[in-house]
Amino acid sequence: MNRPSGAFALILLAAGSVAAAQTSMQQSSPPAGTAPSSQYPSSSSSSSASHDESSTSSARSEKKEEMKKCMHDQHASNPSMSKEDVKKACKEQLSSSPHS
C-alpha cells in the first residue's frame, strides 16, 4: 500500500470512529430520575415564573379593556373630540385612578 492511500484510510477510519462515538452518546439516555438541571428547571421556579407572567398579562389586558371603555365613553360624550385627544384624556384619567 502506498503512503497517500494508507494515510487516507487512517483518516477515514478515525472520522468513522468519531462519528460512531457521537451517535452512541446521543442515543444513550440518562438514568431514570436524573436530568440535567440546565435543561429542566425546578418546578417551583418555572411555576413561579409562569404565575408572574400570567398575572402581568392579565393586568395588561385589564388595563387595555379599561382604556377601550374609557375611549368609547369619552367619544360618546364628546363626538367632535379627536382620537388622539380622547386617548390622551383617557391616559390621564387612568393614571390618576387609585388602582393603577
- HSE-CB of 75 using CA atoms within 13 angstroms: 11
Phi/psi region, residue 79 (left: phi>0; alpha: psi -120 to 50; beta: rest), is alpha
Domain ranges of the chain: 59-100
How does pLDDT run along the chain (100 residues), one tens digit per residue? Answer: 556 677 777 787 777 776 666 665 555 555 555 555 555 555 555 555 566 677 788 888 898 999 999 999 999 999 999 999 999 999 999 888 765 4
